[in-house]
Structure 1
Amino acid sequence: MLVKKSKLAISLVMAFALGGCGGGGSSATVEKTAAVKPKPVAAKPDPVKKTTIALTGKVIDGYVSGATVWLDINGDGSLNEESEPSVVSTESGDYSFNFTQEQALCVPYSTMYVDVPVGAMDEDLGEVTEAYQMSFPPSIEVLTGEDIRNISPLTTVIWEQLSLQLQKSGNNNLSCDALKENIELLANLQSEITNVMQNLVAHYNLSTEQIYSDFIANNDSEAYDRAQAIVKGLKAAYKYKQELDAQFPDAEEVRAVIYQDTAKDDEYGFENAWYRDKVIFAGAEFFYEQVKLQNTDALDKIDFILTQLQSIDTPWGEESLNGKLRIRDDVYINADRTYRCSSIEKVSFENSNVLYSVDNTSPSVNFPTADECVSSNLDTPFERGFSISYTESGAFYQTDFAFREENADFQTLSNWVNVKDKAADLDTQDLVTVLAAMPYKFDDETSIDASFWRKYKTTDNVRISKTIEGQWVRDTRREDGTMLHECSDNGADWTACN
């Protein structure tokens, strides 16, 4: 959220700010004298585009000088000094950018990080002895030259929460270009961001304005105290991530986040608990773990494992059809502190520019501990899904069907289960024939015995979806990058969604 110099500009649109924290970047080493005379490190200016657009703000824990502030344009969580602008904060935590026009176009869609190294100066606490990282979420609002970004532990928490949701849905490493051009992704982000902001406001009992403000200048002791508590998690997460980086040196991405969350407290029956999320992308493998930590003074010790997800992608079947197989094993804690686990397999391939996929989910099985949790095989799935996606006349279409045992098509393609070692035995043309006969076209009459279905149609700036319940949603990306969210019960008469 941006603060105009004349006044604080908080809008409903800005409730869907994105953010960044905890990912991949390494803090620069700053000499103790750097806090007095920082030497900015900036991307080389474009000699053709001489016009620049300013952005100023403060780095706040107390006010922090000697910290590196940078814009993550490519979304990889690491500072690229050749292509991403950076400066160093000075006295009173002040920093200032002069972006080229090209860079300014990416500011609304890029996370701004702050690497606070050992040796930086916190005007309240003195010299920093433990490195950590803070961030400010993208604003989805055009940069005007009158904007101010105060980067603090409070703004950092927005990204911590949101990034976890993005990673679990496979939308990690969002670059400026990928985000501003992807209408479907922007639409999906809307509900996630709204939920995150509501959760943070409820948990910390702070308004949206307090979260984005300079709480030191405002003498806001409540926001200041919250920020100091959050920094404990930031420092613990930074230290844990360094351990993970050493453990997984070849991983494309490693993230670690330590935080508090009212919604999780309610879900699991805890009070003011600390949670830690670990995410690792290493080649074809993905691992996600969420745990409850013991307490504020033991943020390196696990109390309970809450969730573990682990998947691997491998080629499958005919190479010419780009066949792929993903198998994911899930472990979740139960209310009685036992664990349930299940497996999901998804096989997909392309034929005549159409992507077909089948996924099977095994029944859940309960075990006393997470370590003992082993999924049952997929010979008798709990749920089966078919998906077809394609491009036609400049629009992207996708249809998803889900079937359970009570549905007539649950046994359709019954040999396409537990497919890991069946590539030589299964004929992809059989699957094409069956799926192509389903009412997958967006305008097809969809009278099919399914437990659920959903259809999408996406053009350059509009995504429309409809479901088995007769619910229609239309998301439109406006010229300024913000989203218009509308609902309908017939696809013709649209009103603002609740």
Structure 2
Amino acid sequence: MFFKKSQLAISLAFTLGLVGCGGDDKASVAEPVAESVVVNADPVKVDPVEVNTISLTGKVIDGYVSGAIVWLDIDGNGIFDEQTEPSVVSEESGNYSFNFTEEQALCVPYSTMYVDVPVGAIDEDLGEVTQAYQMSFPPSIEALTDEDIRNISPLTTVIWEQLSLQLQKSGNNNLSCDALRENIELLANLQSEITNVMQNLVAHYNLSTEQIYSDFIATNDSEAYDRAQAIVKGLKAAYKFKQELDAQFPDAEEVRAVIYQDTAKDAEYGFENAWYRDKVIFAGTEFFHEQVKLKNTDELDKIDFILTQLQSIDTPWGEESLNGKLRVRDDVYINVDRTYRCSSIENVSFEKSNVRYSVDNTSPSVNFPTADECVSTNLDIPFERGFSISYTESGSFYQTDFAFREENADFQTLSDWVNVKDKAADLDTQDLVTVLAAMPYKFDDETSIDASFWRKYKTTDNVRIIKTIEGQWFRETRREDGTTLYECGENGVDWGPCE
């Protein structure tokens, strides 16, 4: 969302096609060029050639911040490239101004804008900045015009933090300008996520969308200002912590650190005005996620309680021609009495004749006094087992998930396929194919199987239909504007609003 300098927004029609969005900031300001041509030996001056530019102005706000670097992340990797990504420095009252070339302007709607606030920058409310931090403004998916204003603040930063988390979950993080412009489906997904995140943030902070994007200092909005001041404490602590993680994991594909307050978590865990920290690391075949409660506002670098730890490792498994993969995940969760429970989940999957087959085994939970002591039991006697089959047919993608516990008849099915880490040479994948293929996994199959849970999915273009063991039907329709229509039913034919 942009704020306009006038009530009438003038749309800019881009007709350049799919051109690249590179170009450094030096190229964003047109320099007149005088050329001479010779006609009948007499030099004739030609008028200077000017490059059309599109301006964008705004403010960097914590208090107003001058001396901060504002830059556009065109390639979507979160790292400032001075050679290819335009930048400016904020001035008095936090003002900044870009003059983008038309090519660069094409990328503004699809790129995150970052603000690097260095030590020595000036916060007009608090004085000289003594701890570096970063703020951001998310992609808008709206064409840039000369009337647009972008105020970048802790509030807009929270939008991007939440949005990037949702994109990471869907596997669509680190999207470049070109990737978004050329993929309508990704654009629709992004627009939907923006809508969802904004709805959640409006409810969470009890601030309107206009308040979140506004210059809350100029409007004397003390409520938004106070929220921003609290948020920036987390931004500064998270920036410092992420730098430490980057040094610790230099080869990681992605490192994420977020420090924040959350009333819902306070209610869940029984805390009051607590600070929480999420740490996420993707490093090759390994994934690590940790959520902790921090000591207090003045000790945002010290852990009070570990709340959750999830760690998984992917390794090739079985026949290489079947693209076999084994994922083992160890989970640790805090209990109400501040002890910890831990469990393990293994998933082995492979593909044959364009069908993906997988088996899940979950160990029973085991309790320990501390998170460090928490060690999962082995998977020889799992608490729950799951079978999953997915495939594409007639332009639709299908997936069916079954789950079984000890009281279910099929709990002992494929009993050798448990604790499979060292069994690849001993297990015949054809046995698993035969068993799973005989299950009622087709979307329209009569499913009278003794399972603790099953769910079937059918996705066609922008519509996904889900039906469950309880006899419930759900339909999710992704609309052209990027929003999603949610409907419910009992037979897959008649649909109405969901309760």
Q: TM-score, normalised by structure 2?
A: 0.83
Work out whether residues 131 and 235 of structure 1, in 8 Å CA contact, stay in contact via their aligned partners in 2. yes
- Separation (CA, whole Å) in 2 of partners of 1:311 and 1:43: 45
Deviations 1:141-195 (A, max 9, x none): 555554433211012123334544554666543455666848599669958964x
Deviations 1:7-60 (A, max 9, x none): 699xxxxxxxxxxxxxxxxxxxxxxxxxxxxx9466899xxxx87665443221
| Greater shift in the superposed pair: 382-391 or 234-243 | 382-391
Change (3 A) 1:386 1:288: same
Work out whether residues 279 and 288 of structure 1, in 8 Å CA contact, stay in contact via their aligned partners in 2. yes
Query: Following TM superposition, by how much is the alpha carbon of 1:209 offset from its aligned partner in structure 2, in angstroms?
Result: 2.5
**1:271-350 alignment to 2 at 5 Å?**
271-350=272-351
Please name the residue that 1:2 is paired with: 2
- Separation (CA, whole Å) in 1 of partners of 2:281 and 2:337: 29
**1:107-186 alignment to 2 at 5 Å?**
107-141=108-142, 143=144, 146-164=147-165, 167=168, 172-175=173-176, 181=183
- Separation (CA, whole Å) in 2 of partners of 1:424 and 1:478: 48
| Greater shift in the superposed pair: 203-212 or 127-136 | 203-212
- Tell me which amino acid in the other structure corresponds to 1:421: D
Please name the residue that 1:442 is paired with: 443
1:356 matches 2:344: no
Query: Following TM superposition, by how much is the alpha carbon of 1:270 offset from its aligned partner in structure 2, in angstroms?
Result: 0.4
- Separation (CA, whole Å) in 2 of partners of 1:384 and 1:43: 58
- Separation (CA, whole Å) in 1 of partners of 2:370 and 2:498: 43
- Tell me which amino acid in the other structure corresponds to 2:479: R
**1:325-474 alignment to 2 at 5 Å?**
325-474=326-475
- Separation (CA, whole Å) in 1 of partners of 2:132 and 2:200: 27
Change (3 A) 1:327 1:169: farther
Change (3 A) 1:459 1:100: farther
Change (3 A) 1:311 1:476: same
Query: Following TM superposition, by how much is the alpha carbon of 1:395 offset from its aligned partner in structure 2, in angstroms?
Result: 2.5
Query: Following TM superposition, by how much is the alpha carbon of 1:456 offset from its aligned partner in structure 2, in angstroms?
Result: 2.3
| Greater shift in the superposed pair: 283-292 or 382-391 | 382-391
Structure 1: stretches of 5+ with no match in the other structure:
10-38
Deviations 1:116-157 (A, max 9, x none): 222333232333222111112333555555443321101212
- Separation (CA, whole Å) in 2 of partners of 1:497 and 1:55: 42
Could you say what secondary structure the match of 1:295 adopts? coil
| Greater shift in the superposed pair: 224-233 or 400-409 | 400-409
Query: Following TM superposition, by how much is the alpha carbon of 1:200 offset from its aligned partner in structure 2, in angstroms?
Result: 3.9
**Larger RCO: Structure 1 or Structure 2 (Cα < 8 Å, ≥ 6 residues apart)?**
1
- Separation (CA, whole Å) in 1 of partners of 2:303 and 2:478: 43
**1:5-154 alignment to 2 at 5 Å?**
5-6=5-6, 40=25, 55-97=56-98, 107-141=108-142, 143=144, 146-154=147-155
1:244 matches 2:245: yes
Could you say what secondary structure the match of 1:299 adopts? coil
Structure 2: stretches of 5+ with no match in the other structure:
10-23, 31-50
- Tell me which amino acid in the other structure corresponds to 2:232: V
Change (3 A) 1:144 1:44: closer
Change (3 A) 1:431 1:146: farther
- Tell me which amino acid in the other structure corresponds to 1:2: F
- Tell me which amino acid in the other structure corresponds to 1:127: E
Please name the residue that 2:489 is paired with: 488
Work out whether residues 211 and 223 of structure 1, in 8 Å CA contact, stay in contact via their aligned partners in 2. yes
Please report the RMSD computed on the Cα atoms of aligned residues, expressed in angstroms.
Answer: 3.1
Query: Following TM superposition, by how much is the alpha carbon of 1:96 offset from its aligned partner in structure 2, in angstroms?
Result: 3.9
Query: Following TM superposition, by how much is the alpha carbon of 1:289 offset from its aligned partner in structure 2, in angstroms?
Result: 0.8
Query: Following TM superposition, by how much is the alpha carbon of 1:259 offset from its aligned partner in structure 2, in angstroms?
Result: 0.7
Q: TM-score, normalised by structure 1?
A: 0.83
- Separation (CA, whole Å) in 1 of partners of 2:417 and 2:329: 17
- Separation (CA, whole Å) in 2 of partners of 1:481 and 1:189: 5
- Tell me which amino acid in the other structure corresponds to 2:237: A
- Separation (CA, whole Å) in 2 of partners of 1:471 and 1:365: 33
Work out whether residues 28 and 53 of structure 2, in 8 Å CA contact, stay in contact via their aligned partners in 1. no
**Larger radius of gyration between Structure 1 and Structure 2:** 2
- Separation (CA, whole Å) in 2 of partners of 1:404 and 1:171: 34
Work out whether residues 154 and 230 of structure 1, in 8 Å CA contact, stay in contact via their aligned partners in 2. yes
Query: Following TM superposition, by how much is the alpha carbon of 1:302 offset from its aligned partner in structure 2, in angstroms?
Result: 0.7
Work out whether residues 43 and 83 of structure 1, in 8 Å CA contact, stay in contact via their aligned partners in 2. no
Work out whether residues 274 and 296 of structure 1, in 8 Å CA contact, stay in contact via their aligned partners in 2. yes
Query: Following TM superposition, by how much is the alpha carbon of 1:110 offset from its aligned partner in structure 2, in angstroms?
Result: 3.8
| Greater shift in the superposed pair: 79-88 or 295-304 | 79-88
| Greater shift in the superposed pair: 245-254 or 300-309 | 245-254
Query: Following TM superposition, by how much is the alpha carbon of 1:230 offset from its aligned partner in structure 2, in angstroms?
Result: 1.3
Moved over 6 A (4+): 42-45, 177-180, 184-189
- Separation (CA, whole Å) in 2 of partners of 1:179 and 1:486: 28
Deviations 1:178-223 (A, max 9, x none): 66848599669958964x5565445544333222211011111221
Change (3 A) 1:308 1:169: farther
Deviations 1:406-425 (A, max 9, x none): 22222221111100000001
Could you say what secondary structure the match of 2:93 adopts? helix
Could you say what secondary structure the match of 2:295 adopts? strand
Query: Following TM superposition, by how much is the alpha carbon of 1:379 offset from its aligned partner in structure 2, in angstroms?
Result: 1.1
- Separation (CA, whole Å) in 2 of partners of 1:188 and 1:140: 8
Deviations 1:365-401 (A, max 9, x none): 1000000000011111111111222222333222222
| Greater shift in the superposed pair: 128-137 or 145-154 | 145-154
